Structure 1
Amino acid sequence: MTKPKVFIARKLSEEVVNQFKESLDITMWEDTDEPVDRNRLLEEAERSDGLVTMLTDQVDQELMDRGKRLKIIANMAVGYDNVDVETATEYGIQITNTPDVLTETTADLTFALMMATARRLIEANEVIKDGKWKNWSPLFLAGTDIHHKTIGIVGMGRIGEAVARRAKGFGMDILYHNRSRKEEAERELGASYNSFETLIQTADYIVCLAPLTEETKGIFNAEAFKKMKNSAIFINASRGPLVDENALYQALIKGELKAAGLDVFDKEPIDENHPLLELDQVVCLPHIGSASVETRKAMMELSLKNVKDVLYGQQAKTPVNRPN
């Protein structure tokens, strides 16, 4: 029996990939750091039964038109805004993602980003490295407390709930806004459901964990930042396009907002000359929310398990759609 052909659009751990080579004929993009060349991805789609893609890969109609044999595209991320799910469903292609396995790791990073921003940890590190620590004074690099403050979580999915659990340990008051009420989270965590307007006006820390949709794109705009407390700190660990970056920059330099911590950006990688990078009160990370060795290997394994299952006639473990 001929093994199904699978192309992986980024170089993954050989340790993980080797587990699946007995049942799948796997070809893998050779470069660890650079995204797969678009033409190469289209060529591989033509001869593959399954693809493993990354957020940087545009899984659009052009690709699916070329991929006449495709039965599954496993997107190695929770989000799938890079995938034309509607077309995939119409073409009978299964789309999968990698929820759950990265929840706690991403929540760790989100809370760490909030703490680093509030307590000015990056600035403090640079002061020492630049040889500028000459003496001590009462307000030297004084940051903002986290404990017993109010956190407002926009997007109370799995990661939002995990962040809320961490906030509870810090004695924080927890507000959240979501498309639907999460009554279990309210009971277990003492979280309070609020409108978007009330949350951004009330919270000391506004944490964006909402998915990117047509409704949420640009939700954090100039109007939203103006409504926040001048002492508020904004954190985005979801998707860059939820934020108007120019409006964020203006709010920060005008003092309408105290600080921001960002793991994601509208255009990635962010340009090194981006104005947000000039501000000491902004902590920027290169989209590493789920970047622990353990979690990334779990994401690889789940993606390949989904591919194997679908190509051998079984149900995907984490389906995004129901193909026609």
Structure 2
Amino acid sequence: MSSKPRLWITRKLSDATLERAARDYDTVINFDDGLSTADDLVSMSAQVDAIIPCHSEQFNADVARRLDPRLKIIANHSVGVDHCDLPALKSRGIAVTNTPDVLSDATAEIAMLLMLGAARHAIRGDHLVRSGGWNFWSPSFMVGKQVTGARLGIVGMGRVGQAFARKARGFDMEIHYYNRSRLTPDEEFGATYHDTIDSLLEISDFLSLHCPATPETTGLMNAGRLAMLPEGAVLVNTARGALVDEAALLEAIVSGRLAAAGLDCFVTEPGGNPAFAAHQNIFMLPHIGSATRHTRDAMGFRALDNLDAFFRGETPKDLL
């Protein structure tokens, strides 16, 4: 019988992560890479000491109540933990960790891609060329919104928000931000702090969301707040789909109040919002903000680092 802790990896992580896990743990891997149900989570909790799940696995209060006492730690392969009921898991004595720091740049790259693509008609242009419909040109053809020198509002100036701000400065953007607390001057790099979201929205030619999904931020961008943005603004969301009232966003797009949107996350995942598909000024990606080889390895290794520390009797670096 193996003396190594038994670990369940719920999704197919990077090859390097799986190799290291198999070396150091008695590892069960879901090579089929399918979603796990609540019953799957409960059933497996009686068979393992630790789980590395992704954001797709939902550890809500009901699941937490039913988990087997054998399970000691959930080492998430994600930064966001809104899929975990932390108080409920803590009450069961189950440690929970995440993987901050390592995916900030990759996610910020996707935010930049979405911002540029939404502003410059990437979906419409690609479709036109790909379909063979590009048979004319005019100075008024596909005129978009210029990013360089524009005012960028960032909601949530944590690791990803700061990484995005660094990249946006390369486009000479004027950076404004709202955060729960003001950054130090060294962290701000000249960005303008707003102590309310409303004052940030009023000046944001582009608005990018980088805050977690919490009961306080769910539906943050509702009809009222979308209406506060300047006419023809562009909304970018690489954080969580729950931050945006999708019906209100669609209405703002249809009315022309918003020029465009760039979305990497949706209320319903996987799947997204089918109503968005009819609008080529909504640039969409399937929640791939951290999907680079470098970052996937780093996320997997960070989760394993947390497990290693836990089973050595130490406090994991990313214990929540």
Deviations 1:196-223 (A, max 9, x none): 1111111100111111111111110000
Q: How does 1:1-324 map to 2 (within 5 A)?
A: 2-32=3-33, 34-64=34-64, 65-184=66-185, 187=188, 189-194=189-194, 195-271=196-272, 274-320=274-320
Deviations 1:298-320 (A, max 9, x none): 11111122122212312212111
CA separation in 2, counterparts of 1:226 and 1:14?
A: 46
Letter in 2 for 1:70: L
1:221–1:243 CA contact under 8 A, matched in 2: yes
CA separation in 2, counterparts of 1:160 and 1:131?
A: 39
User: How much has 1:10 moved relative to structure 2?
Assistant: 0.7
Per the normalisation by structure 2, the TM-score is 0.95
CA separation in 2, counterparts of 1:250 and 1:62?
A: 35
1:24–1:308 CA contact under 8 A, matched in 2: no
Q: Give the 3 Å change call, closer, same or farther, for CA 115–185 of structure 1 in structure 2.
A: farther
User: How much has 1:186 moved relative to structure 2?
Assistant: 5.8
Letter in 2 for 1:123: R
Structure 1 runs of 4+ off > 6 angstroms?
A: none
Structure 2: stretches of 5+ with no match in the other structure: none
CA separation in 2, counterparts of 1:282 and 1:23?
A: 44
1:259–1:282 CA contact under 8 A, matched in 2: yes
Letter in 2 for 1:128: V
1:74–1:96 CA contact under 8 A, matched in 2: yes
Deviations 1:16-46 (A, max 9, x none): 22223333111011213x2124333221111
CA separation in 1, counterparts of 2:125 and 2:133?
A: 10
CA separation in 1, counterparts of 2:216 and 2:51?
A: 29
User: How much has 1:106 moved relative to structure 2?
Assistant: 0.6
Determine what percentage of the aligned residue pairs are the same residue.
37
1:29–1:36 CA contact under 8 A, matched in 2: no
CA separation in 2, counterparts of 1:310 and 1:271?
A: 36
Letter in 1 for 2:35: P
User: How much has 1:15 moved relative to structure 2?
Assistant: 3.2
Q: Which SS does the other structure have where 2:236 is aligned?
A: strand
1:152–1:174 CA contact under 8 A, matched in 2: yes
CA separation in 2, counterparts of 1:69 and 1:168?
A: 49
TM-align CA RMSD: 1.5
Q: Which SS does the other structure have where 2:44 is aligned?
A: helix
With 284-293 and 176-185 compared, the bigger mean Cα shift is at 176-185
2:259–2:281 CA contact under 8 A, matched in 1: yes
Q: Which SS does the other structure have where 2:176 is aligned?
A: strand
CA separation in 2, counterparts of 1:143 and 1:131?
A: 21
CA separation in 2, counterparts of 1:228 and 1:142?
A: 21
User: How much has 1:271 moved relative to structure 2?
Assistant: 4.9
Q: Which SS does the other structure have where 1:59 is aligned?
A: coil
User: How much has 1:12 moved relative to structure 2?
Assistant: 2.1
Q: Which SS does the other structure have where 2:258 is aligned?
A: coil
CA separation in 1, counterparts of 2:148 and 2:269?
A: 32
Structure 1: stretches of 5+ with no match in the other structure: none
1:207–1:235 CA contact under 8 A, matched in 2: yes
With 20-29 and 275-284 compared, the bigger mean Cα shift is at 20-29
